[in-house]
Structure 1
Amino acid sequence: MSADRETAASLVDLVCAEARLHTSWDNVGPVSAVRRPACQLLDNTPLDPDRLARMTDPQLWSAFDSCAATRAESAMIRYELHRLQVTAGRAPADSSGWDFSLRKTYSSAPLVEGQRSEVSAPEPAAELDALRSLPTKFRVWWR
C-alpha cells in the first residue's frame, strides 16, 4: 500500500496500536484462557475442529459446560476472568499455568509516496521497528 506521508503516519499509528493490543492482557488473557478448554474439548469429545470453528459463542459455551473436562474453567472464564494473570516470557516448567505464544504481530509499513518508509519517513519506520521488542511469549495462570 502506498500513501502520502500523513496517511502513512496514521496507518503506522493504527498498526502500532493493534500490535500493542495483541500483546496486552486484554488479548492474551482471554484468548489463551478460551484456547485451553477448546483444545481440551477436542481431546475429550468426538467434536471435530471444523465443527468447533463454526460454532457460535452460545454453542461454544454450551459445549464447554457439557464436557466435564472443561466445565470448571468455562465458569472461571465467564465469571472470574479478573483472576487471570499474564506475564511476558516463559515460566519454569514446575510453575502453575500454561504458556501462550503469538505467532506474529503485524508490523508491515506502508510505502510513502511509492518509496520504502525507511527512506521517505524514518520516524514511522522507527515506530514499527520498535514493535519487535514487544513480547510474543507469555505465561498465563489463574490466581
Structure 2
Amino acid sequence: MLKKNHVMDKNEIASLGASLREIEQKLLKPGHQAGHTKIWFQGEEPYFDMFFECNNDEILWFQFTLRGKSLSWDKRKPEWQTGTTNELCLNDVGFYAATKTIDNDHQPDWGFIYLVKSILETRAKEPIFAQALALFK
C-alpha cells in the first residue's frame, strides 16, 4: 500500500516506469466504437496497470493503478479522479482482475497525481506517455 504522502525516491520511480510493458492487443477487447483502440501496460508489481482508450491517437480515457490507488481521466469530463481499488483486499473475489472496483475519493489526491506524473515522465519520449503527460497541463 502507498504511504499517504506518496513519497518515493527517484530510483523507485524510475524502476516503476521502466517495468511497464505493453500487453499484446489480441488480449484486449476491441474499443466500443470503430477506430477506438485500447492500450494496456502492466508493471512488474502486482496490481500495477495503465490503460488507455484512444481514437486516432487521441486519448479518450486513461486509468493508472498502483498499490491500491487509482488515477483516471475521461475526455467527456476532463478532470482527474483518484480513488482506492479493492485489489489489496484479502477476499476470494479480489483475486480476479475482472472484479476490480474503485472507490472514488471525494477530493483528488494530488500527492498520488504528482507521483503518477513522475512515473510517466520516466518514459516521456514514447508517444503514448507523452500524450498522457499532456493531460496534466
Q: Classify the TM-score, shorter chain.
A: under 0.3
Which one has a larger percent strand, Structure 1 or Structure 2? 2
Bigger radius of gyration = 1
Q: Which has the higher contact order (CA 8 A, sep 6+)?
A: 1
Larger % of helix: which? 1
Q: TM-score, normalised by structure 2?
A: 0.24
